[in-house]
């Protein structure tokens, strides 16, 4: 397929995944913050956490200092200057979808377009009933887009690039969510919140055989091989998608993207809770994020190498990440 | 219930639906019965649902004049326009004849120039045109076909005689609306189809693909076809996606293509892939920055070398614009006689050439009763409709004509035919035109898929989508249902 289309598939699904997760993070934060004193230390801290996730760590210091519910929602839902706000993500996903109109099923395209139009309509307000309803709709619709893509697109090139985008984004957001934990000494409700942000609350409760501890929770999000939002699961999916694309046999690694994916997969397959206690959570999570960055760079080099500058100027809008 | 009585606008306007104020024409009898039994509310709600669906599906065009490239739908009118099989045959034969002659003209002016030598078409008119591409002189194209896809705009005079208003032989658009309109009408108002047997339109993409494959350089076994679009900001981008998708070929932008050793390749995830035929929806000027506009980022560097070397087919050929230059329009009947030794089946609208001094004076004095068009204008822009114009506008055009006579033609105001159209919950007569499309691979194919555009503003004669136009589903009845 055209390299440009491959790249658009990648960014399309990455941004849908991002909008979904940011919506979940904000919703969890909002409901959790209701239990705490509004404006109290913990409430402010949880909004600050949400802001860090919702801006991919790019929030200015002033915004972090003034992380109220209203400010964070504004910045992470509607602010088009924040490239990872829900509105931005959906707009970027749609821009990429427009470039893919001839490649997408009408179902996928219409779901994306409708979500974009609805979010535009909402522009700047989440309604009197609070943000929950709106965030819920975004989440549902993003999941519908993923589902309709799986159900209507042939599982060949384009779909494989969507898988890459989806699981790269999911893994990196899971890592970012973990990175916001101060330490394993945080009280359990804090850890419960992080689990919920990763959709992992019930799966973890079921999987944890003993009393739930913070290192076990972190290990679940990082290492569980069957939970579809764990970093391990995502790394395996990335590895599989890359192998389908290059048609290299399993366990053989021909290009740099496959090697980096294999390395990441090994890092989260052959480690356990003891390692993150010994190494420290933050260094481990940072290594995962660095590994993902390198992986994305290599996917770009292998499948959609950058074109000369003169042409690149023209394309910056259409495929902006 | 809908009131179906004809409300004539102007005396000298042909009504497509009614033979006289109370009697529908034979094609429309059945439709009139159905409409008579439909609740107005049903129609109005249906149209609202259709317009919402079109927006959701992104069946939109971009309005350049407005800031930030507003996306608009092309409004859809649910009252179909119906052609008897016999009349359609007459029209399509005329279109075929015209396209054949225009193609022969292109072959001729880029080679021997017989028609110029014999003085049937003034040489200076051809050679002074911006649309004459010198780089194409002496270049052979596969099958000698230049105009693979064309759209011939037709109107009807007061007697109902079809006239050619203009030829579009560069990159005519609109076919996606034809496909979309039929689909949407079937889903929303299935009852309107009761008692009719209609030629399908949905094989158009297949017919187009066949045409494009025939445009491949000789000897290509399984030609690789791509659609070339200027990109997502082009007003017809939606149409490009529909055609690529339904033909099952890649939709490429210039940056997706590269010329290596005078051959064109696609940049794919598996490396470079050879391209044999390009269906381009980009103007000549933007196709190759080495030959044409150097600032074009839309085209393919080195394309013309590959094309002239015969390594890639192009639909339409470079340089077809000279055949639809409005200054040459009035010579098309002579082209038909000259190349085909036939009498034109479709007549032209009377046209005055402003480059002639005497005619120019006449035009200047009668601007209030004429339509003036720029010879290189399109989309309803660069046009003066005399009776609807102000004194200042006329004075402005008079100055422009004086300054550049070659760039203007004038025509009498033709009252386009009218057709009942749903306006504010009632049927009202609105002006329409017709754009049949012709496909030319090895032979000419005029699919029964034509676009009817309708001027939604009362009294307006301008049907262009950018100027308040809408569209209607257009039916061609199957042969045995012919009752006209």
Q: What is the CATH number of the domain that holds B387?
A: 3.30.1490.270
Q: Mind listing the pLDDT tens digit for each residue in A201-221?
A: 999 988 876 667 899 999 999
Chain B environment of A304 (Cβ under 8 Å): 269
Q: Mean pLDDT across the stretch B445-468?
A: 87
Chain B environment of A106 (Cβ under 8 Å): 57
Final residue of a structural domain among B367, B385, B412: B412
Q: Mean pLDDT across the stretch B256-274?
A: 93
Q: Mean pLDDT across the stretch B71-90?
A: 91
Position B2 in a domain: no
Q: Does B296 lie in the same domain as B398?
A: no
Q: Mean pLDDT across the stretch A100-105?
A: 94
Q: Which helix (H) or strand (E) segment is B83 a member of? A: strand B76-83
B240 and chain A: CB distance < 8 Å anywhere? yes
Q: Does B268 lie in the same domain as B394?
A: no
Residue B252 is given by DSSP the state E
**Domain containing residue B369:** 352-412
pLDDT at B381: 66
pLDDT at B113: 96
B interface test, pick of A93, A97, A101, A310 with most B CB neighbours within 10 Å? A101
Q: Does B360 lie in the same domain as B420?
A: no
pLDDT at B21: 81
The answer to whether residue A321 scores a pLDDT higher than 60 is no
The answer to whether residue A2 scores a pLDDT higher than 90 is yes
Give me the residue from B56, B245, B297 closest to A314, CB to CB: B297
**Cross-chain Cβ contact B244/A102 below 8 Å:** yes
Give me the residue from B55, B245, B256 closest to A2, CB to CB: B256
Final residue of a structural domain among B371, B391, B412: B412
Measured CA to CA, the distance from residue B352 to residue B339 in angstroms comes to 24
pLDDT at A305: 82
Quickly state the pLDDT bin for A184 (edges 50, 70, 90). Answer: confident
Chain A environment of B268 (Cβ under 8 Å): 1-3
Span of A176-180, B82-86, B401-405, B478-482 with lowest mean pLDDT: B478-482
**Cross-chain Cβ contact B232/A98 below 8 Å:** yes
Q: Does B375 lie in the same domain as B341?
A: no
Shortest CA distance from B58: residue in chain A: A113
The answer to whether residue A18 scores a pLDDT higher than 50 is yes
Position B9 in a domain: no
Query: Do the beta carbons of residue B325 and residue B131 sit within 8 Å?
Result: yes
- Which of B75 and B465 is assigned the larger pLDDT? B75
Query: Do the beta carbons of residue B481 and residue B85 sit within 8 Å?
Result: yes
Mean pLDDT of chain A: 89
Chain A environment of B250 (Cβ under 8 Å): 1-2, 5, 102
Global pTM reads 0.86
Query: Do the beta carbons of residue B34 and residue B191 sit within 8 Å?
Result: yes
Most confident segment among A76-85, A160-169, B266-275: A160-169
Q: Mind listing the pLDDT tens digit for each residue in B346-392?
A: 999 999 888 788 888 888 888 988 999 888 766 566 788 888 888 88
Residues of A at the B interface, defined by Cβ within 8 angstroms: 1-6, 95, 98-99, 101-103, 106, 109-110, 113-114, 117, 157, 245, 303-304, 307, 310-311, 313-315, 318
Q: Mind listing the pLDDT tens digit for each residue in B142-162?
A: 999 999 999 999 999 989 999
Q: Does B249 lie in the same domain as B395?
A: no
Span of A228-237, B72-81, B136-145 with lowest mean pLDDT: B72-81
Position B397 in a domain: yes
- Bridge-based pairing of strands B251-252 and B225-228 is parallel
Neighbours of A37 (CB within 10 A): 10
**Cross-chain Cβ contact A113/B232 below 8 Å:** no
B244 and chain A: CB distance < 8 Å anywhere? yes
Angle at A12 between CA A11 and CA A15, to 5 degrees: 80
> Can you tell me whether residue B313 is helix, strand or coil?
strand
- Which of A308 and B110 is assigned the larger pLDDT? B110
Q: Does B393 lie in the same domain as B294?
A: no
Give me the residue from A6, A99, A311 closest to B269, CB to CB: A6
Measured CA to CA, the distance from residue A304 to residue B229 in angstroms comes to 20
Q: What share of chain A is helix, strand, coil (3-state, %, to 5)?
A: 70, 0, 30
pLDDT at B375: 82
Chain A environment of B56 (Cβ under 8 Å): 110, 113-114, 117
Q: Does B146 lie in the same domain as B190?
A: yes
Among residues A163, A304, A148, which one has the least CA distance to residue A241?
A: A163
Quickly state the pLDDT bin for A312 (edges 50, 70, 90). Answer: very low
**Residues in CB range of B311: below 8 A, 6 or more apart:** B217, B262, B263, B264
Quickly state the pLDDT bin for B322 (edges 50, 70, 90). Answer: very high
Q: Does B364 lie in the same domain as B343?
A: no
Q: Does B359 lie in the same domain as B216?
A: no
E strand spans, B140-190: 149-156, 162-168
Q: How far is B117 from chain A (nearest CA, A)?
A: 45
Query: Do the beta carbons of residue A238 and residue A168 sit within 8 Å?
Result: yes
Q: Mind listing the pLDDT tens digit for each residue in B5-40?
A: 555 556 688 999 998 888 899 999 999 999 988 888
* Length of chain B in terms of residues written: 484
Residue owning tokens 């939109």:
B60
Q: Does B403 lie in the same domain as B316?
A: no
Q: Mind listing the pLDDT tens digit for each residue in A128-174?
A: 667 888 999 999 999 999 999 999 999 999 999 999 999 999 999 99
Residue owning tokens 């011939």:
B152
Shortest CA distance from A106: residue in chain B: B57
**Cross-chain Cβ contact B227/A102 below 8 Å:** yes
Among residues B191, B247, B186, which one has the least CA distance to residue B39?
A: B191
Query: Do the beta carbons of residue A117 and residue B56 sit within 8 Å?
Result: yes
pLDDT at A317: 38
Measured CA to CA, the distance from residue A143 to residue A278 in angstroms comes to 37
The answer to whether residue A90 scores a pLDDT higher than 70 is yes
Q: Does B222 lie in the same domain as B337?
A: yes
The answer to whether residue A270 scores a pLDDT higher than 60 is yes
How many structural domains does chain B have? 2
Final residue of a structural domain among B384, B412, B440: B412
The answer to whether residue A85 scores a pLDDT higher than 60 is yes
Span of B55-64, B67-76, B180-189, B421-430 with lowest mean pLDDT: B67-76
Q: Mind listing the pLDDT tens digit for each residue in B36-73?
A: 888 888 888 998 888 888 888 888 776 655 444 567 78
The answer to whether residue B437 scores a pLDDT higher than 80 is yes
Mean pLDDT of chain B: 90
């Amino acid at each position: 397929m055209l390299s440009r289309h491959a790249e658009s598939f990648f960014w399309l699904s990455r941004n849908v995944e991002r909008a979904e997760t940011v919506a979940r993070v904000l919703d969890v934060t909002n409901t959790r913050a209701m239990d705490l004193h509004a404006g109290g230390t913990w409430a402010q801290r949880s909004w600050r956490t949400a802001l860090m996730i919702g801006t991919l760590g790019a929030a200015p210091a002033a915004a972090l200092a003034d992380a109220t519910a209203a400010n964070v929602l504004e910045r992470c839902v509607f602010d088009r200057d924040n490239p990872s706000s829900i509105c931005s993500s959906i707009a970027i996903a749609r821009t990429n979808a427009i470039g893919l109109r001839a490649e997408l099923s009408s179902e996928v395209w219409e779901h994306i377009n409708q979500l974009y139009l609805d979010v535009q309509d909402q522009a700047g307000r989440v309604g009197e009933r609070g943000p929950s309803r709106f965030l819920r709709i975004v989440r549902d619709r993003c999941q519908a887009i993923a589902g309709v893509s799986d159900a209507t697109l042939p599982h060949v090139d384009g779909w494989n690039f969507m898988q890459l985008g989806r699981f790269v984004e999911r893994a990196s957001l899971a890592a970012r969510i973990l990175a916001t934990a101060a330490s394993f000494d945080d009280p359990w409700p804090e850890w419960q919140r992080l689990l919920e942000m990763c959709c992992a609350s019930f799966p973890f409760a079921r999987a944890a055989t003993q009393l739930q501890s913070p290192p076990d929770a972190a290990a679940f999000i990082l290492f569980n091989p069957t939970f579809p939002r764990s970093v391990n699961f995502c790394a395996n999916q990335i590895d599989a998608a890359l192998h389908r694309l290059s048609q290299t046999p399993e366990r053989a690694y021909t290009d740099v993207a496959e090697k980096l994916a294999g390395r990441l997969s090994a890092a989260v397959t052959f480690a356990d809770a003891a390692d993150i206690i010994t190494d420290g959570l933050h260094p481990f999570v940072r290594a995962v994020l660095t590994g993902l960055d390198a992986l994305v760079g290599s996917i770009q080099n292998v499948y959609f190498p950058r074109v000369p500058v003169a042409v690149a100027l023209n394309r910056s809008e259409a495929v902006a990440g | 219930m809908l009131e179906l009585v004809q409300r004539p606008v102007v005396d000298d306007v042909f009504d497509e639906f009614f033979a006289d104020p109370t009697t529908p024409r034979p094609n429309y009898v059945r439709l009139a019965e159905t409409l008579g039994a439909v609740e107005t509310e049903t129609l109005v709600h249906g149209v609202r649902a259709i317009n919402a669906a079109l927006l959701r599906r992104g069946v939109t065009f971009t309005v350049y004049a407005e800031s930030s490239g507003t996306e608009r739908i092309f409004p859809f009118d649910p009252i179909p326009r119906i052609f008897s099989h016999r009349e359609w045959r007459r029209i399509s034969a005329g279109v075929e004849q015209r396209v054949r002659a225009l193609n022969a003209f292109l072959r001729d002016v880029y080679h021997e120039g017989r028609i110029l030598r014999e003085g049937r078409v003034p040489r200076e008119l051809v050679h002074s045109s911006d649309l004459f591409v010198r780089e194409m002189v002496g270049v052979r194209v596969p099958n000698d076909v230049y105009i693979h896809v064309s759209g011939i705009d037709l109107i009807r005079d007061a007697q109902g005689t079809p006239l050619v208003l203009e030829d579009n032989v560069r990159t005519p658009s609109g076919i996606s609306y034809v496909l979309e309109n039929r689909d949407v009408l079937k889903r929303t108002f299935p009852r309107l189809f009761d008692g009719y047997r209609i030629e399908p339109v949905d094989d158009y993409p297949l017919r187009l693909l066949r045409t494009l494959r025939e445009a491949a350089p000789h000897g290509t076994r399984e030609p690789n076809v791509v659609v070339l679009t200027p990109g997502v900001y082009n007003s017809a981008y939606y149409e490009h996606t529909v055609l690529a998708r339904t033909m099952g070929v890649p939709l490429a932008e210039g940056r997706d293509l590269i010329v290596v050793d005078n051959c064109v390749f696609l940049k794919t995830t598996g490396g470079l892939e050879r391209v044999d035929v390009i269906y381009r929806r980009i103007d000549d000027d933007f196709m190759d920055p080495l030959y044409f506009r150097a600032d074009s980022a839309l085209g393919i560097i080195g394309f013309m070398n590959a094309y002239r070397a015969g390594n890639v087919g192009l639909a339409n050929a470079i340089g077809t614009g000279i055949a639809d230059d409005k200054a040459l329009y009035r010579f098309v009947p002579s082209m038909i006689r000259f190349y085909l030794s036939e009498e034109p089946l479709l007549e032209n609208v009377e046209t005055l050439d402003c480059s002639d001094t005497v005619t120019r004076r006449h035009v200047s004095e009668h601007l209030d009763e004429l339509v003036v068009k720029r010879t290189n204008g399109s989309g309803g822009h660069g046009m003066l409709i005399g009776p609807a114009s102000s004194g200042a506008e006329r004075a402005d055009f008079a100055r422009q004509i004086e300054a550049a006579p070659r760039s203007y033609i004038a025509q009498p105001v033709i009252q386009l035919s009218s057709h009942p159209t749903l306006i504010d919950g009632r049927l009202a007569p609105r002006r329409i035109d017709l754009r049949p499309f012709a496909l030319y691979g090895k032979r000419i194919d005029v699919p029964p898929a034509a676009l009817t555009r309708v001027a939604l503003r009362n009294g307006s004669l301008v049907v262009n989508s950018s100027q308040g136009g809408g569209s209607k589903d257009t039916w061609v009845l199957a042969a045995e249902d012919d009752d006209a």
